[in-house]
Amino acid sequence: MSDIDFNKINSMEFDVLREIGNIGAGNATTALSQMINSKIDMKVPNVELLEFKNLADIVGGADRIVVGILFTLENDIDGMMMFMMDMPASRYLVNILLGNPQPDDLSGDYEFSEMELSALSEIGNIIAGAYLSSLSTLTNLTITSSIPYMAIDMAGAILSVPAIEFGKIGDKALLIETEFGDKEKSVNGYFILIPTLNSYKAILNSLGL
């Protein structure tokens, strides 16, 4: 069992986790801009270590319908990674990618077409992949991810997957809230990294902490 204690994590260790978020956002911005052939800005307004039970509150509650794209992680880092967006944010990105006009109101009920679902999966794959590449480069650790699994469901249902899978070995996740968009509009996405406790320790050790 690892000796890392999230309740006593020091400011330097937390700064490192925050920097992982910043670098990941930068890489994701570049990758997304190249994908849609248009400039898009992304920044990291918030980085937190949260208990699983509090993650759903960040996206508006357990009943909020969200798009979740999940990966399992292996090799030097074990765990799970997820990129999550609410429906308005998902529609916003899909419309940019497919060249669709943006409606004045992105909220409300909406059902994605097969093409839109495919685009959404690719967006999540590229954004999460950029974060993963950043983490691997920064730590010099080998990290491989599974094929992405995408689900559209209530936030509580989607977040129950990592809670059940990793709840036995730890109850905290690194939440990186990202804000992306252009001059006219911006929306939020949520990158959730859930390594095992020993993997958190490996990340910090690789950085000399």
pLDDT confidence of 157, banded at 50, 70, 90?
very high
pLDDT of res. 153: 93
Q: Which two tokens stand for residue 29?
A: 């911005």
In this predicted structure, the answer to whether residue 107 has a pLDDT above a threshold of 80 is: no
Mind listing the pLDDT tens digit for each residue in 57-86? 888 899 999 999 888 888 888 888 888 988
Residue 190 CB-half CA count within 13 A: 24
Mind listing the pLDDT tens digit for each residue in 159-189? 887 777 766 656 678 888 888 777 777 778 8
pLDDT of res. 1: 38
In this predicted structure, the answer to whether residue 209 has a pLDDT above a threshold of 70 is: no
What is the end-to-end Cα distance of the chain in Å, rounded? 18
Residue 147 CB-half CA count within 13 A: 0
pLDDT above 90: percentage of residues in the chain: 9
CATH of the domain at 90: 3.40.1550.10
In which domain, by residue range, is 115 found?
A: 6-206
The SS3 of residue 35 is: helix
Average pLDDT over residues 131-158: 87
Tokens 């400011």 correspond to 11
Task: Give the Å distances, CA to CA, from 202 to 26, 46, 139, 163, 175.
Answer: 23, 23, 9, 21, 18
CA 18 to centroid of chain Cα atoms: 13
| Count of the separate structural domains present in the chain | 1
Higher-scoring residue by pLDDT: 155, 200: 155
Higher-scoring residue by pLDDT: 206, 154: 154
- Residue 181 domain flag: yes
pLDDT of res. 2: 45
Average pLDDT over residues 116-137: 84
Dihedral sign, Cα of residue 137, residue 3, residue 11, residue 127: positive
DSSP string, 43-92: EEEEEEEEEHHHHHHHTT-TTSEEEEEEEEEEETS-EEEEEEEEHHHHHH
pLDDT of res. 67: 92
- Residue 1 domain flag: no
pLDDT above 70: percentage of residues in the chain: 90
What is the C-alpha separation between 22 and 137, in angstroms, rounded?
14
Find the helix or strand (DSSP H, E) in which 26 lies: helix 11-36
The rounded mean pLDDT for the chain is 80
What is the reported pTM? 0.82
